[in-house]
Chain A
Amino acid sequence: MAEEVVLLDFWPSPFGMRSRIALAEKGIKYEHKEEDLRNKSALLLQMNPVHKKIPVLIHNGKPVCESLIQVQYIDEVWHDKAPLLPSDPYQKATARFWADYVDKKIYEVGGRVWKTKGEKQATAKKELIETLKLLEKELGDKPYFGGESLGYVDVAFIPFYSWFYALEKCGNFSIEAECPKLIAWAKRCMQKESVAKSLPDQQKVYDFILEMKKHFGIE
């Protein structure tokens, strides 16, 4: 049966990137539709009426919403190639825990780094580094969070790397100086075609953040 896969996306979204990577890892051909979030398409509103957000994965006409739910779905449906989640329940639980940790922390704390100034920004920077250091510790000496190959946590986390340059410029700090092993991991991930093709250029992301700051009246 011909599979029809569509991804409703927005280029700088780290959440959209997760699904792009998962689809690429599995070698799935899909139609990529770029959304204008100031003018959401009828299709997006129809496929994600609850949240009206991207990414939305549409498989044979049926929508799957929320990026980590999409990654799990992709892993389960196309289970023959490049497994992202381990098969052992305990290892799976560990992977889910860290992906959840990334979800709870990185976006919100990172957001505060570029949206605030002064003391609030200093606090956000400190929190971000603490969070990244904890993830670095979890990585340990493994090449990937998934072990020898890219796994669920790698897919959940690597998209935020495309935002690091922007955060560093906004916060005037170096993430590599604090977390060299994590940056080494990120560069290792970027060697993979599935990741390199899914992440936008860091300068482009920075320009986008600057536009957002102007739009929201943030200095």
Chain B
Amino acid sequence: MAAEKAEMDALKKECDGLRAQIEAARKAVNDGSMSAASSGVASVGRVQLKLRKTLKGHLAKIYAMHWSADSRQMVSASQDGKLLIWDCFTGNKLIAVPLKSAWVMSVAFAPSGNLVASGGLDNICTVYNIKAASPKTLRELDAHTGYLSCCRFLSDTEILTASGDTTCCLWDLETGKQKVIFTNHIGDCMSLALSPDTNTFISGACDSLAKLWDLREGACKQTFSGHTSDINAISFFPNGNAIITGSDDCQCKMYDLRADQEVICYQDTSLNAGVTSLALSSSGRLIFAGYDDFNCHIWDSLKGEKVGVLSGHDNRVSCTGVPADGMGVCTGSWDSFLKLWN
């Protein structure tokens, strides 16, 4: 017992020493803030977007949504046990996919538009072919030992998943098998995002950490700390050199990958609700963050100021997404509606 304790103490001491070294290295390069860099930048003023459409059709809380690469179709997932694929230009429902398990937490559209995937408390990521006469289950990816919190397609043959079992996984859709397992978080993984060049991805977890991973090697390259609660939402800045996180600690943060540290924090004393989701405008200037307070607040990413709000939902905003062409923003809520704004 004493020997084991001594071993653990030695490991802990080593960890503390290494962490202190890393903090010192980060401090050494911290010679200027985002506020300083953006001091000469003109304000965006008040951002007042209009509600253009309310998409009605789900019968229970909406947990997730994802835009198609065509910036026109969008898929939403609700605990009414359905995925709905929408034409956002007309507001029409195109396809309904009935789910085996109603406890869905995540949904994704493949870049090709041929496939969608979803999963949740069933621990399974199910992939559907939506180009068939009626939606057909292509694969059931069953190996996670915890809930599926997030999934994203790389292509029609590969998909990334994040799970409550603390791991992320890259799957081969042709074989249905795991290709790479990403282990390093010590809390449930809640969200993931692919880098624009698809060589890396980032994950946010209940251990309050965000991690950057090499997709092919399986290795964790960098770890970002600072949040004091679960990271529910994560996204790459459009140039791939920074990441934005949203947390239950009511804050969003931007971390720069090359400086390996937080460069700005988006917080407001009047905001006492956790962040559930986030999306960036096409230039990266605006951050749309969904909160538990039923609103989606809009932040100026450079100046760190709140510049607008999307109000209209009658319950928590659970998901937020901006399409690839940047023409609008979609919010989805526990009130069972999706709203399109621009």
Same complex origin of A and B:
no
Using CB atoms and an 8 Å cutoff, list the residues of chain A in contact with chain B.
none
Using CB atoms and an 8 Å cutoff, list the residues of chain B in contact with chain A.
none
